[in-house]
Homo-oligomer: A and B are copies of this chain.
Amino acid sequence: MDINKRYESGINVMEELFSKEVRTGMKGINDISPDLWNMIVSFGFGELYSRDIISLKQREYITLTTLITQGAFDQYKVHLQAALNIGVTKEEIIEIIIQCAGYVGFPKAVQAMGIAGEIFKQNE
């Protein structure tokens, strides 16, 4: 894949995942470090999320799980909405969190479920 295509395909995935408002917020990174922004778009979304074999939904399963495990709840919030945007259901998200409970312990599972509750409400 050439350089421009990577960036473009990253932007395409981001449009699928995030609302315009969220993407504008994310782009704040570009003002501080255009290079990191470029890496996020071209490598993060353009190379990783744009790959085949597993679907965008399955990638969000992985992303939500790793963010819960890391306790990275700010990014988790953003990807929770992204997951809903591309069709992961509320019920699936609850299952991801419950499955995580046994693997990362209750504290992170409870925090993840509380945040999910907020996001679900905003989507009603």
Contact = CB atoms under 8 A, between A and B. Distances in A.
Nearest to A115: B32
Contacts of A31: 117
A87 to B, nearest CB: 14
B29 A113 contact: yes
Interface of chain A: mostly helix, strand, loop or mixed: helix
Nearest to A35: B98
Contacts of A111: 72, 74-75
Interface residues of A, number: 60
Interface in A8-43: 28-29, 31-33, 35-36, 39-40, 43
Given A29-B113, A39-B101, A74-B111, 8 more contacts: A32-B113, A51-B98, A53-B94, A54-B95, A62-B100, A70-B107, A71-B71, A71-B72
25 contacts: A2-B2, A29-B110, A29-B114, A32-B120, A33-B113, A35-B94, A36-B98, A36-B110, A39-B98, A43-B43, A43-B47, A43-B102, A44-B102, A51-B95, A51-B98, A58-B58, A61-B65, A63-B103, A66-B69, A67-B107, A69-B69, A69-B70, A71-B71, A72-B108, A74-B111
